[in-house]
Amino acid sequence: MIPQGTAPTSIPNSPELAIKVTRTDGGTTLIGPIPFQHIADHMVLAFKSMAHNTTGADGARYEVSEFSPRSGETYLPLVPASTDAITSLMDDTVQGVEAPFPDLWSRLHAQHGYETACRAWRRATIMVDLFAETAEAEESEPSTLPDDSTAADAGDGEKTMHEHRDGEPLHLSAPMYATLLDIVQAAAPKSHAQGDTDPCRQLLSALLATLGIAPPPPAVNRTLCPSLYCDESGTWAQCQHTPGHPVSEPHAARWGFQLTGQEWCDGHPRSLTPKRSADDVPPPREYKYCGATNAPDDEPTYTCNRRVAHKGKCSPDHDED
């Protein structure tokens, strides 16, 4: 990592520097301007350390000289360790991830050190994945998810929080959510980012809601049916029925102390419901016959076909329940 602390005293009007990287295939990459000699030296050492595991680094030669651009030369600038800077350069043919050595990751690593580069890279790649998933959901055919009270007012093509993909609501993975929460906390004022993280979580939830993305689903309570439902605000709830309840009986949940709840069936686009196999469906109740016969003085004689221990009189007819 580039040494921290007070920057070295520079000579007045000292020239800025540049690094010329020459690969074994004859290709070259120019990097600059670089403000101090120690930064350029540190980057060269970092590039050399990549020779054993980075394509194009093995056998490369490095030259540090004065930054003096000539006509037709292209210099790659230093890369800030920020999410915006990294995401904007990822697909760049000259500076991005597919560029020749030293590519975007190699330069980020050389400038800021491995740990700082990893943190910045992880945040940037998660944001890229997030935007890609959102774009994919917008391009796909939106499912119709009317709210009970506003279904008639919903406009054509209006997108809700849970336009689903592959039959389930678009939601974040837990690692992606944690990284985004870190970004929100880092951007929040110190007085809000310290201690209680609820304000930051609320801010993130509101941001995700505008993008049509739900937060990660919670861990399920295994004593209840595992089906989960996410409402229009991004709040998850679990079905309150016992596991394996009949398919004909809809899932149901309540939110907190609300007096109204929600019901849904398997396959609802706002739900996450594990596919139920035949083993998950309770077997039909065994029909055991009463078997009693009517009294001798009754005509005609019959055997009772009602369930055993039935209530009321015997009958040749079957119970319907």
pLDDT tens digits along 148-206: 333 334 333 333 333 344 445 667 777 777 777 777 776 665 544 444 556 777 777 77
pLDDT for res 136: 60
pLDDT at 48: 93
Closest CA to 231 of 263, 198, 197, 267: 263
Predicted local confidence at residue 8, as pLDDT: 44
**Band of residue 209 on the pLDDT scale cut at 50, 70, 90:** low
- Position 6 scores a pLDDT of 42
Asked, as a colleague might, if the bond just before 316 is cis with ω within 30 of 0, I would say: no
**R_g of the chain, CA atoms, integer Å:** 33
Instruction: Look at 189 and 67; give whichever has higher pLDDT.
Output: 67
- d(Cα 54, Cα 52) in Å, to the nearest integer? 6
- Please list, residue by residue across 83-98, b when 16 or more beta carbons sit within 10 angstroms of its beta carbon and e when fewer do: bebbbebbeeeebeee
25-44: buried (b, 16+ CB within 10 Å) or exposed (e) per residue? eeeebbbbbbeeeebbebbb
Query: Which tokens is 149 given?
Result: 């009270």
* Residue among 115, 3, 110, 117 at smallest CA distance from 60: 110
Q: What per-residue string of b and e applies to 133-145 under the rule 16 or more CB within 10 Å gives b?
A: bbeebeeeebbeb
Nearest CA to 313 out of 279, 290, 297, 281 is that of 290
Query: Residue 191: its pLDDT value, please?
Result: 45
> For residue range 91-104, what is the model confidence (pLDDT) as tens digits?
888 888 889 999 99
Average pLDDT value for the chain: 74
Tell me the pLDDT tens digit for each residue of 9-58.
444 566 899 999 999 999 999 999 999 999 999 999 999 999 888 888 99
Q: What's the confidence (pLDDT) of residue 247?
A: 77
DSSP 25: T
